[in-house]
Homo-oligomer: A and B are copies of this chain.
């Protein structure tokens, strides 16, 4: 078995562990907030990519414009996002997280992070150094890969 295959196995094991844990917490949070998954996804997108229009939602989630409009309407009704006219194009709308929506997403992210912090607290100083260096490498490799694609 080459080093490459060996390492793949290790990363896959970590992926499984990590994904399993992360998904569990994530779906629990979505349930607790009473949102549907598409609604949550839109909020996440607004958090990570910032304000956008209806068409952008429709493209990114590969649904019709009508579906995006209705989804946004429900989120506006729930007070989780705000919808305003785009000053540069009066046909277009700009939607963004409301403070309520922001809190909701941030608490979800916080919950996901908490587990990692516990993980770190179980490592000694030497292990922390090594793990930090390794994950920095991986994150950089991922960024490089993203660019070339």
Q: What is A's interface to B at a CB cutoff of 8 Å? A: 3-4, 6-8, 10-15, 17-22, 27, 31, 37, 41, 48, 62, 112-113, 115-123, 125, 127-139, 141-146
Q: Inside 8 A of A8's CB, which chain B residues have their CB?
A: 113, 116-117, 120
Which of the residues B19, B133, B141 comes within 8 Å of A119, measured between beta carbons?
Answer: B141
Q: Are A7 and B112 in contact (CB under 8 A)?
A: no
Q: Inside 8 A of A7's CB, which chain B residues have their CB?
A: 120, 123, 128, 131-132
Main secondary structure of the interface of A (DSSP, over half): helix
Which of the residues B12, B15, B117, B130 comes within 8 Å of A134, measured between beta carbons?
Answer: B130
Query: Closest 7 interchain pairs by CB?
Result: A134-B134, A14-B135, A131-B134, A122-B141, A7-B132, A10-B132, A7-B128
Q: Are A130 and B121 in contact (CB under 8 A)?
A: no
Q: Are B20 and A138 in contact (CB under 8 A)?
A: no
Q: Which residue of B lies closest to A115 (CB)?
A: B145
Which of the residues B10, B12, B31, B121 comes within 8 Å of A136, measured between beta carbons?
Answer: B10
